[in-house]
Amino acid sequence: MGENWFQREFLSPKRLAFNAFFYGTHFIIFAYGWYSQQTNQKLAGLNTLKWSVWSSRGAGLVLAYDGGLILLPMLRNIIRVIRPHLTWLFPADENIWFHRQVAYSMAFWAMVHTTAHYVNFINVERTQIRKQLALEIHYTQAGGITGHFMLLVMVLMYSTAHQKIRKQCFEAFWYTHHLAFFFMIALYTHATGCFVRDSTDPDYSTVFPFYKVGHCLGYESWRFIIWPGIIYFGERIWREVRARKATRLSKVLVHPSGAMELRIIKPSFKYVAGQWLFVQIPELSKLQWHPFTITSAPEDPYVSIHIRQVGDWTEALGERFGVGPSVVKTMTQAAIKGKEKGLGQGDFVEIDTVSSAITLPAVRIDGPYGAPAEDVFKAEVAMLIGAGIGVTPFASILKHIWYRQKRGTLGRLRRVEFFWICRDSPSFGWFQSLLQEVEAAQADPNFLRINIYLTQKIGEDMLWNIAVNDAGAEYDPLTLLRTRTMFGRPDWDSIYSRMRSAVEGGSYLPGSKSQLKTKVATYFCGPPVIAKDLKEATNKYSSASVDFTFAKEHF
């Protein structure tokens, strides 16, 4: 990747526009904060402190702006609603990225603000423009106390939010980040106490807030920035209320690959294909919410999620159902053996709650969140590309397409190309069985094409296995699909150029020539490296008659 920092930040128009707007507004606000302090005759006393007070007030106003922005990308429910209408303006999927940019900016301006104030207070003490010690301002006044408290919270929150810490112990990050509640309260009250005033001492009175506000000349920014905080708090409460609505775990299926399928019934839960939810099992942890992609289609009478046992929580869940890691291992081995003998991979097992001692625990779900894939039906051709674990949202999307196919409500959609790039197939056995179902249900052999790419290096045994079983067999020996598995990485350049010439030649979509423009929508879920290649390919091969669009999902 020959992309350097300059190219990334300045040479892509969207990013450049964002940078210009984001840092531009920060700078303008800083300049305004500085200017309005410096030129305010009423504050002549404070202005004897010169540049330090000007920059502290400018930076303070910028911090207020950041404090207002930082919660916006976290308003998950609101984002979910406005997202489809605003995809042209900003990528709402990048909300965490935006949250981080605001946080970085906040750290920088906090540094400016704090440094300037440390100079301010030492000068206040020296000149005695107010009869105070620096120490008193730091530790006895609202501004100093909340300021130091916020710095402490920032050290804790920023350091635990480091990618490395988040990976090794998500709880440390998650729980520490809830200090944000106290941080926001400190932020909103940071400017209380009327320290920006035109008199030496506050004009004390006996009623709340114990000084007359006529002399206070602060920016009162909290009146504006408190709203995202209130909305966020309201949203958290709403999520809690919603999560408590009647929910029942109806079935647990264990797939040979070890994935557990939870089928949950919650009538109040409405979603569309491609979205995800948070799940909580109070019996395992009353505080933890874990995100999972929804794997059922909205038409299904239940909401299903597939859980692989890869962490503390998921393994504990496995143990709870009596299918802990050890049981799964034997199941997987049996499945592999069965496959080698050509017996198929074996079926899933339903957890029996009638004759065994295993009961189903209570569950709570929160959601749905994320990108709906409804746009699929607005294009003639959909290219669905999933890489690795990123294939999960396509379970729901493919099922949904299948349901709509049955109902004959496919919209403009004429063909679906599904790409699945994975390193090793056995770990996604449950997905294979789903693909099998969808593939078997196809009446029109041209509607859905499944392309599977296996990127793992193949051992000699496996090579011979493929050579022996593949020739003339109806099903692919690895995936048991009719579609043959391809080995190595897909060459997007040639895939897209062939796609374009096939569409333009009219062989791909019979009758498409009567149309002016054919839309080929690409949906991708997976690592950013592939996303970049795909984006380049879609840009490169878009022409007057074929419009390639690209969208990627995060989770």
Partner 1 sequence: MGNLIWHEYARFVAITATVYGMWAGFWGLFYRKFFWDFVGGTLRDPGGIQPPPSAAPFIMIIVKIPLLQIFGVLMAFFLLALEWPLPLMKKLPIYRNLVVRIVLLFFQAFINILYYQVSSRGNRQQKALV
Minimum separation from the CB atom of position 315 to partner 1 (A) = 11
Cβ 84 to partner 1 shortest distance, Å? 32
Which residues have CB under 8 Å from 154's CB, separation 6+? Answer: 106, 107, 110, 183
Comparing CB distances to partner 1, the nearer of 168 and 205 is 168
Where in 38-138 does DSSP place strands (E)? none
Q: Toward partner 1, which CB reaches closer, 119 or 502? A: 119
Residue 380 corresponds to which tokens in the numbers above? Answer: 């003639």
- Alpha-carbon distances, residue 348 vs 72, 260, 406, 439 (angstroms): 43, 9, 25, 19
Residues of the shown chain interacting with partner 1 in the complex, contacts defined by CB under 8 A: 111, 115, 118-119, 122, 125-128, 131, 133-135, 138, 148, 151-152, 155, 158-160, 162, 164-165, 167-172, 311-313
CB of 63 to partner 1, least distance (A): 17
Give the pairing of strands 518-525 and 546-553. Answer: parallel
Q: Which is nearer to partner 1, 169 or 473 (CB)?
A: 169
CA 373/CA 386 separation, integer angstroms:
13
Residue number with CB closer to partner 1 (7 or 168): 168
CB of 290 to partner 1, least distance (A): 9
Nearest CB to partner 1, comparing residues 52 and 192: 52
Nearest-approach distance from CB 456 to partner 1, in angstroms: 25
Question: Which residues lie closer than 8 Å to 14 by C-beta, 6 or more apart?
Answer: none
| CB-nearer residue toward partner 1: 82 or 155 | 155
> Which residues, 6 or more positions from 82, have their beta carbon under 8 angstroms from its beta carbon?
92
**Closer Cβ to partner 1, 28 or 135, answer by number:** 135
In angstroms and rounded to an integer, the radius of gyration of the C-alpha atoms of the chain is 29
Query: CA 56, CA 50: separation in Å to the nearest integer?
Result: 10
Query: Least distance (Å) from partner 1 to the CB of residue 169?
Result: 4
User: What's the closest the beta carbon of residue 308 comes to partner 1, in angstroms?
Assistant: 14
Rounded (10°) angle between helices 180-189 and 222-243: 150
Count of other CB atoms within 10 angstroms of residue 333: 11
CA angle 82, 87, 91 (to 5 degrees): 100
Of 75 and 165, the one with the shorter C-beta distance to partner 1 is: 165
Query: Does residue 399 contact residue 431 with C-beta atoms inside 8 Å?
Result: no
CB of 124 to partner 1, least distance (A): 9
